Structure 1
Amino acid sequence: MKIGLIGFGKTGKAVASVILQNEGFCLEWVLRQSILLEHRSVPEFLGVHSDESGLIYSSATISMQELLDKHPVDIIIDFSSDQGIYTYGSIAAEREIKIISAISHYKESEMKLLKELALQTTVFWSPNITLGVNYLLFAAKFLKKIAPWVDIEINEEHFKLKEGTSGTAIKIAEALNVEKENINSVRAGGIVGKHEVIFGFPFQTVRLIHESISREAFGSGVIFVAENLKNKSKGLYNFEDILEPYFTA
């Protein structure tokens, strides 16, 4: 499957590296705002051995229409910003290109747009696209179902420059009916991302912890999602939709 990647920050670079090393996918191009690195080879820039010739393009010098005309793809993966969807969403949906969005926070207007695009193509969104953290969410929901009266605390830790409460932690809180104001946040250098759910039972505690050791974990998550979206019809999907069949099989 041919992939177009939007966003080439630290996480975008890690995701590109993982895609390049997977034989089932081809990274056709990377789109970023800056003109720096324009027309550079992604494998060459990242130092990854690959026969793919995916190039870096800038949205300042090429339109999405022109990019897709020259280099069509099957999936667009978005690691840019909450405004990125306006750049490619409508054009991708018209061409029935699958969309995988890994944006941490979307406002109501962007969520509305995702639902509209899902009427035309396959759309997936997750504020955290790592497989491990979504397994944690699944397990947490099951435990809460077994013991709805249990005390719950949610802790999240991220790198120093990350703004706002983690979108993943908010999603966990919503799933477990915990007030967002009760999420405990830590920001410190060297941390990639860590989420912990503490269940306080009488005489015992259960702790579910997920920690991203490297940003390549997001790339592995992208590959897992893309493989599971191959045969999905039009609609808006999340990680629960993809994981549920594995639990019921």
Structure 2
Amino acid sequence: MKIGLIGFGKTGKSVATVLLENNKFCLEWVLRKSTVLEKRSVSEFLGIPSEEQGIIYSSSKTSMEELLDKHPVDVIIDFSSTDGIYTYGEQAAQRKVKIISAISHYKDKELQLLKKLAHKTTVFWSPNITLGVNYLLFAAKFLKKIAPWVDIEVNEEHFKKKEGTSGTAVKIAEALEIDKDNINSVRAGGIVGKHEVIFGFPYQTVRLIHESISREAFGNGVVFVAENLKSKPKGLYNFEDILTPYFTV
């Protein structure tokens, strides 16, 4: 499966590493805003032995139309920013290229665009694309069904410079139908990401915890999603759509 990656920050580099090490995928190119590393080989820069032709391009010098014409891909994976979708969305949809977006915070305008693009191609969006945290979400929802009256608190911890409340924590709160005031945030050091859901019963406590030890966890999530999107028709999907069949008895 040929992959195009949008964004090459810390997480983008980790995702690229996982893709290069998986022989089921071919990282064709990376597109980023900066001209730093322009035309460098991704595998060479990351120091990963690979025969793949993955090249780094800058959006200020190479248009998405030109990139897709010269280096077509099956899937575009977005780890850039909230406005990244405007760089590639329409061009990808016109060519039926599948879109996997892992952007934490989208506003209504971007969400409406995703829905529009989903009329033409397969689109997936998740504010946290790690498999573990989405399994946690599933488990939490099941426990809430068993005990809808239980007290629930959500704790999220991230690196010092992360701004705003974790998009994943917000999604957990929405899924469990609790107020966002029940989300407690911690910003310290270089914490990659930790989410905890606390269920307070009268005489016992249940804690569901997921912690990302390394950003490569996002790459593993991308691989899982991409493999499960292969046979999906056009439409807008989330992790629940992909995981639900695995829970069918």
Supply the AA of the counterpart residue of 2:151: D
**Counterpart residue number, 1:247:** 247
Supply the AA of the counterpart residue of 1:58: S
**Counterpart residue number, 1:195:** 195
Question: Tell me, what secondary structure is at the counterpart of 1:199?
Answer: strand
1:1-249 superposed matches below 5 A: 1-249=1-249
User: Residues 38 and 57 of structure 2 are in contact (CA less than 8 Å); yes or no, is this contact kept in structure 1?
Assistant: yes
Structure 1: runs of 5+ lacking an equivalent: none
Residues of 1 paired with 2:34 and 2:51: CA distance?
Answer: 25
Supply the AA of the counterpart residue of 1:160: K
Return the offset for 1:103.
0.1
Residues of 1 paired with 2:60 and 2:106: CA distance?
Answer: 24
Return the offset for 1:190.
2.1
Return the offset for 1:182.
2.0
Return the offset for 1:143.
0.2
User: Residues 152 and 182 of structure 2 are in contact (CA less than 8 Å); yes or no, is this contact kept in structure 1?
Assistant: no
Structure 2: runs of 5+ lacking an equivalent: none
Return the offset for 1:202.
1.4
Supply the AA of the counterpart residue of 1:62: T
Alignment RMSD, CA only? 0.5
Residues of 1 paired with 2:11 and 2:220: CA distance?
Answer: 12
Question: Tell me, what secondary structure is at the counterpart of 2:128?
Answer: coil
Question: Tell me, what secondary structure is at the counterpart of 1:164?
Answer: coil
Deviations 1:161-202, CA, capped at 9 Å, x for gaps: 100000000000000111112210000012000000000111
Residues of 2 paired with 1:29 and 1:106: CA distance?
Answer: 24
Residues of 1 paired with 2:222 and 2:57: CA distance?
Answer: 21
Residues of 2 paired with 1:91 and 1:34: CA distance?
Answer: 21
Deviations 1:192-245, CA, capped at 9 Å, x for gaps: 000000001111000000000000000000000000000000000000000000
Q: When the two structures are superposed, what TM-score results if normalisation uses the length of structure 2?
A: 0.99
Deviations 1:94-123, CA, capped at 9 Å, x for gaps: 000000000000000000000000000000
Q: When the two structures are superposed, what TM-score results if normalisation uses the length of structure 1?
A: 0.99
Structure 1 segments of 4+ aligned residues over 3 angstroms from their partners: none
Residues of 2 paired with 1:229 and 1:62: CA distance?
Answer: 28
Question: Tell me, what secondary structure is at the counterpart of 1:27?
Answer: strand
Question: Tell me, what secondary structure is at the counterpart of 2:124?
Answer: strand
Q: Percent identity?
A: 80
User: Residues 15 and 219 of structure 2 are in contact (CA less than 8 Å); yes or no, is this contact kept in structure 1?
Assistant: yes
Residues of 2 paired with 1:14 and 1:242: CA distance?
Answer: 23
Residues of 1 paired with 2:147 and 2:181: CA distance?
Answer: 22
Residues of 2 paired with 1:102 and 1:192: CA distance?
Answer: 15
